[in-house]
Amino acid sequence: MAMRAARSAAVMLRSLLGLAVLAGVVAPSSAQETWNPFKQWPETQPPRTSGPPSPKGGLMTPPGETPVDRANLQPEPRFGPRDRPVERSELAPVMAPDSSGMPLELWRGIDLKTFEELLSVLDLPPRSPSLHRLWRRMLLSAAPPPAGAPSPDHFLALRLEALYRSGLLSDMTEVIGGSVVSGPLIQVLGARKDIGLGRRDAGCAAIKALAAPSSGLPGRLKGETQLLAGYCAAAAGDAEGAGLAASLAREEGVEAELPLSVLGGIATGTKPRLALPKRVLLLDYRFLELLGPVNAAQIFEKAEPALLSALAADGNADRRLQVAAAEAALRLNALTPEAVADVYRRQAGFAAGDADPTARTADPLLRRALLFRGVELSRSPPQQARMARALLDDARRSGVLLQTAQMLAPVLADMPPSGEPALAEVGVEIAIAAGRFERARRWAETAGAGHWLALIDVADAGRRGGRVQTLGTIEQMAMRGRLSPDTLHRLATVLDALDIDVPIPLWDAASRTPQPSGGYLPETGVLADLAQSAKRNDAGRTLLLAMRTLGADGPEGANVIALGDAIRALRRIGLEAEARRLGVEALLPVWPRMAGN
pLDDT tens profile 38-50: 344 333 333 333 3
- pLDDT for res 228: 94
Stretch 143-170: mean pLDDT: 88
pTM of structure? 0.81
Residue 254 scores a pLDDT above 50: yes
- With cut-offs at 50, 70 and 90, classify the pLDDT of residue 363: confident
Length of the chain: 597
Instruction: Round to whole Å and give the CA distance between 478 and 484.
Output: 8
Instruction: Round to whole Å and give the CA distance between 578 and 140.
Output: 17
Q: Can you say how many angstroms the Cα of residue 455 is from the centroid of all Cα atoms in its chain? A: 24
Q: Which of 73-77, 179-183, 502-506, 593-597 has the highest mean pLDDT?
A: 502-506
Q: Do 70 and 53 touch, CB atoms closer than 8 A?
A: yes
Helix (H) or strand (E) holding 560: helix 560-572
Of 566, 541, 580, 572, the C-alpha closest to 109 is: 541
DSSP secondary structure code for residue 9 in this structure: H
- pLDDT for res 334: 94
Per residue in 391-402, pLDDT (tens digit) is: 999 998 888 999
Instruction: Round to whole Å and give the CA distance between 181 and 194.
Output: 18
Q: Do 107 and 115 touch, CB atoms closer than 8 A?
A: yes
Of 203, 135, 202, the C-alpha closest to 165 is: 135
Positive or negative, the CA dihedral 406, 411, 414, 417 is negative
How much is the CA Rg of the chain, to the nearest whole Å? 26
Of 216, 165, 219, the C-alpha closest to 192 is: 165
Q: What residue ranges in 383-468 does DSSP mark as E strands?
A: none
Q: How far is CA 115 from CA 34, 118, 316, in A?
A: 15, 5, 40
The one-letter code for the residue type at 64 is: G
- With cut-offs at 50, 70 and 90, classify the pLDDT of residue 15: very low
Helix then strand then coil, % of the chain, to nearest 5: 55, 0, 40
The answer for 237, left when phi > 0, alpha when psi is -120 to 50, beta otherwise, is: left
Angle at 461 between CA 495 and CA 330, to 5 degrees: 90
| Mean pLDDT taken over the chain | 80
Q: Do 592 and 568 touch, CB atoms closer than 8 A?
A: no
Residue 534 scores a pLDDT above 70: yes
Task: Indicate the range of 96-110, 314-328, 351-365 predicted with least confidence.
Answer: 351-365
**Proportion of the chain above pLDDT 90, given as a percent:** 49
List, in order, residues 6 or more apart from 470 with CB less than 8 Å away: 450, 453, 454, 456, 457
Cβ neighbours, 10 Å, residue 477? 20
Residue 84 scores a pLDDT above 80: no
Secondary structure, 3-state, 144-159: CCCECCCCCCHHHHHH
Instruction: Round to whole Å and give the CA distance between 263 and 245.
Output: 8
Instruction: Round to whole Å and give the CA distance between 280 and 296.
Output: 11
Q: Do 440 and 413 touch, CB atoms closer than 8 A?
A: no
Helix (H) or strand (E) holding 7: strand 7-7
Instruction: Round to whole Å and give the CA distance between 283 and 306.
Output: 9
Stretch 357-373: mean pLDDT: 75
> Could you tell me the end-to-end alpha-carbon distance of the chain, in angstroms, rounded to an integer?
67
- With cut-offs at 50, 70 and 90, classify the pLDDT of residue 96: low
Scanning 166-256, the segments in alpha helix (DSSP H) are 169-178, 184-196, 200-210, 219-235, 239-251
Per residue in 186-242, pLDDT (tens digit) is: 999 999 999 999 999 999 999 988 866 555 676 667 888 899 999 999 999 999 999
Instruction: Round to whole Å and give the CA distance between 300 and 319.
Output: 14
The one-letter code for the residue type at 489 is: H
Residue 74 scores a pLDDT above 70: no
